[in-house]
A and B are shown apart, each in its own frame.
Chain A
C-alpha cells in the first residue's frame, strides 16, 4: 500500500488551510489511518501550533531536504493519536529553500509508511504553492464564501488543471447560515456555480475552532463541536464514503433550489 498525497491550498491567505489540514489529519487518524501532515508554509510555520506540537520540534523540512536530519528523525508523532505525525516547516528560512523535486522525493520516501500525506500549502501562486502541489495525488481547495476568496480559488483551480492534476475538490469554510439567509453572504450554490468543482465539505463558522487552535487541540478531537463533526464527515468522504451533506441551520436553500430545478419543465441546465 502506498500513501495518497492530498494538498490543501486556497490562493487567498487566512481562509483556513492550516485549520483544515490539522483537522482532516486528526479525523483520519481517529479512524485508524496513518497520516503524515507536512507544513509546506516555510517561513510562516503554524501547523505545529494548531496541532499542539510546537514544543517538540527538533528538526524541520529544510533540515531533511538539506540532509542534516533523516525524515524519521524530523517527523513528530502526536501523543494523543499515535497514527498522526507531522513534519514541521522551517521558521528561519524562506520558500526557496525547498524545490518541487525535493518535495517529490520527500513524499516518495514517506509513501510506504503511511496511508495519507496531507500537505498544508502556503497562500499565493508562487514558489511555495508549486512546491505544495508538485507531489499531490488529490487537491483540496479551501475557500470562504467571499467574492475575493472565491476569485482566488478559481485562479488556483486553473493552475491545478494546468499542472495536470485531477480535478480538485472544494471545502467551503466559515459558512454563516444566518448571513446567507439575509443575502449578505454567497450561498453554497453560488460558489459551486462559479467554481464548478465537487464539494467535499462545508465547515460552519465556529468559535471552538479558534479556542481549540489556541489550545493546540484541533476541534476534530471534539465530538460535540459542529465544526469537529464537519471534519469527521470530510474524512469519511475522503475515504470514499457517501456521507450526506449536513443541512446547517437556515441552510436548506441548496436542496430546495435543486428540487425546483428538476421540476422546471423548461430547465435545460444552468
Chain B
C-alpha cells in the first residue's frame, strides 16, 4: 500500500497481502488511509475513520514519527474528530497514551460538539495501557530490494527487506523489522509504542535503532560489527543486541 516503487511480481509473504504504488517516481512516499490531518487557522484536526482500530492507531503513530511531525503537531489546538465512531474507554486511553508519548496536548471533538470524553480529566500515567495498546496492524510489507540513502518505508505493520538498509535510509514500522541483509541506516520498530517489537538482520550496524520509545545509537568509535545474524529487542528498559541462535 505504501512503498513507492513497482513490484512486478506482487510479492506475498506468509499470506500477507501487499501492493505497491508508483505515485511518486522520485521519492518513496506514504499517505495514510485511516486518518486525515487537516491544518486550519487555529490548529490541527485529526479525523479518525471507522476502519479497524489497530490500523487507525498504527497510522497515527507513523504520522507522529514523520520528520515534519514536530511542526505539524505543534499547533496550538489539536482536535480529534471521531465522526460516527464511538470510542470505547480503552480506545480513548490508548489514543491519549499515544499522543502523550509524543508530548502532545489535545482536546476531544465529537460530531462537532466538543464533549470531553470520560477518563480524560484525570491525570494520566505514561504507562502502557493494558491491552491492545500495542497498535500493530498484523500485516507485513516486503521490500524486495536494497533501501538506498534517502529512501524511506513507513508501514503500519511489520516490514521485511530482502537487501540492505543503507546509511541514510529509514524504516519506521508499527511492528517488527526483519532485514535479510545489512542494516546501516535508521530503523524504528514498534513505532506505535510497542516495546515488544524486534529488529533482526543478517548484520546490524545501524546509525540509530529505535524500538518503541527507546533509542540506541551506534557507538562513536568504529566497531567491527559481529558477523552473523543478530536481533535487537528491549530488555529491562534498554535496547540489547543479541546474536541469533537457532533453537533446538
Which of the four size classes fits the interface of chain B? 10 to 19
User: How far is it, in angstroms, between the C-alpha of A151 and the C-alpha of B150 when the chains are bound?
Assistant: 9
Q: Tell whether A151 pairs with B149 under 8 Å between CB atoms, given A159-B26, A162-B26, A163-B26.
A: yes
Q: Which of B11-19, B51-59, B67-75, B164-172 contacts A (4 or more CB under 8 A)?
A: B164-172
Q: Which of B125-156 contact A (CB under 8 A)?
A: 145-151
Complex contacts, B25 vs chain A, CB 8 Å: 162-164
**Contact in complex: B5, A154 (CB < 8 Å):** no
Q: Is A194 an interface residue (CB 8 A)?
A: yes
**Contact in complex: B168, A154 (CB < 8 Å):** yes
Complex contacts, B212 vs chain A, CB 8 Å: none
Chain A's nearest CB lies how many Å from the CB of B232? 21
**B interface, over-half SS:** loop
Q: Which of B6-36 contact A (CB under 8 A)?
A: 6, 25-28
Q: Tell whether A155 pairs with B148 under 8 Å between CB atoms, given A162-B4, A162-B5.
A: yes
**A interface, over-half SS:** helix
Which of the four size classes fits the interface of chain A? 10 to 19
Complex contacts, A155 vs chain B, CB 8 Å: 148-150, 168
Complex contacts, B184 vs chain A, CB 8 Å: 194
Chain B's nearest CB lies how many Å from the CB of A270? 8
User: How far is it, in angstroms, between the C-alpha of A45 and the C-alpha of B20 when the chains are bound?
Assistant: 40
Which one, B4, B145, B149, contacts A154 given CB within 8 A? B149
Q: Name which residue of chain A comes closest to B182, CB basis.
A: A193
Chain B's nearest CB lies how many Å from the CB of A153? 9
Complex contacts, B151 vs chain A, CB 8 Å: 158
**Contact in complex: A157, B148 (CB < 8 Å):** yes
Binding site for A on B (CB under 8 A): 4-6, 25-28, 145-151, 164, 166-168, 184
Interchain residue pairs with CB less than 8 A apart (13): A125-B150, A151-B149, A151-B168, A154-B166, A154-B167, A154-B168, A155-B150, A158-B149, A159-B150, A161-B5, A161-B145, A162-B26, A164-B25
Given contacts A154-B150, A161-B145, 12 further A-B contacts (CB under 8 A): A130-B26, A151-B168, A152-B149, A155-B150, A158-B148, A158-B151, A162-B4, A163-B25, A164-B25, A194-B184, A196-B146, A196-B164
Binding site for B on A (CB under 8 A): 125, 130, 151-152, 154-155, 157-159, 161-164, 194, 196
